[in-house]
Amino acid sequence: MAQERTGGSSITRALRVVEAVAAAGDGVTAKAIARRLGCPLPTVYRALGTLVEEGYLVRLHDVRGYGLGYRVAELHRSLTEQVRPPATVRAVLRDLHTAAGAAAHLMVFRDVELVVAHVDDCADHPRPEGMRVGEPTAAHATAAGKVMLAGLRPGRLSELLARTGLPQMAPHTVGDRRTLDRELMRIRSDGAAVEVEEFESGIAGVAAAVLGPDGEVTGALGVSVTRAEFSERRWQLERAVRTAAERASLLRDDDRRTAGLR
């Protein structure tokens, strides 16, 4: 039992070392990591040695410090591949991007986290800076996230929000449960959601539900544009999003499962 506790503690320390290197950037020294973590220097050196040997960190001799290793990039690529939808779903997003003239995205639940599964964008229609494939996002602050929340049963919704809270992401993020509940009620009846400067300053978007065979919400398709553009084109964008979501809802069951659209 003592060995298990020690092993667990060693794993935790190693993970904290990786996080410290990621936060500090290339060239951080063992002493700086020890100070950041409040760990004895010999403990940090042992963790560094193992992490370098396994490829999660690299020793950068030119700057006399450490940096993230290439195994970290491999893990991230694996994660994005696991949440990446099949070609048929990506085609829906590509067509939505073209039809709407806006960055298009798909969000799904991965266990209890709302995750960005895919984004189709370009230099002329960039995604919001905080929207990264394979990473969880603040469900209460995005149009697609609110669509997903609206599809949850009350108990599951309360459990999720109790864990995540309602952090302020941008000037107009919904910050209280009562206001959010009123908005979710409207979304349930309408099937679509909007957000204006709730996720990122100067950005707005609209999303619609992807429905399963039994009518349950299994995902959400959305687009993001500048606030000014949204004011001018809101209804065009919403029509394009609703059409794409309906198309995604009609995909074959095997494509839906592969995309995380259960």
For residue 146, what are the CA distances in angstroms to 222, 229, 247? Answer: 11, 21, 20
- Mean pLDDT of the region 227-253: 92
Burial class of residue 64, CB neighbours in 10 A (0-12, 13-18, 19+): exposed
Give pLDDT tens digits for 8-63: 478 899 999 999 999 999 999 999 999 999 999 999 999 999 999 999 999 998 87
Give pLDDT tens digits for 162-215: 988 999 999 999 999 999 999 999 999 999 999 999 999 999 999 999 998 888
In the chain the domains, ranked by start, together with CATH numbers, are 2-73 (1.10.10.10), 84-258 (3.30.450.40)
Q: Which pair of structure tokens corresponds to residue 124?
A: 């002329």
CA nearest 147: which of 183, 198, 123? 183
Percentage of residues in the chain having pLDDT higher than 70: 93
pLDDT at 84: 87
pLDDT at 3 over 50: no
For residue 193, what are the CA distances in angstroms to 45, 80, 159? Answer: 50, 26, 22
**What does the mean pLDDT of the chain come to?**
90
* Ramachandran angles phi, psi of 57, nearest 5°: -135, 160
Q: Are 225 and 237 in contact (CB under 8 A)?
A: yes
> What is the distance between the alpha carbons of residues 132 and 230, in angstroms, rounded to a whole number?
21
| pTM across the whole model | 0.78
Give pLDDT tens digits for 49-65: 999 999 999 999 887 89
- Mean pLDDT of the region 143-148: 96
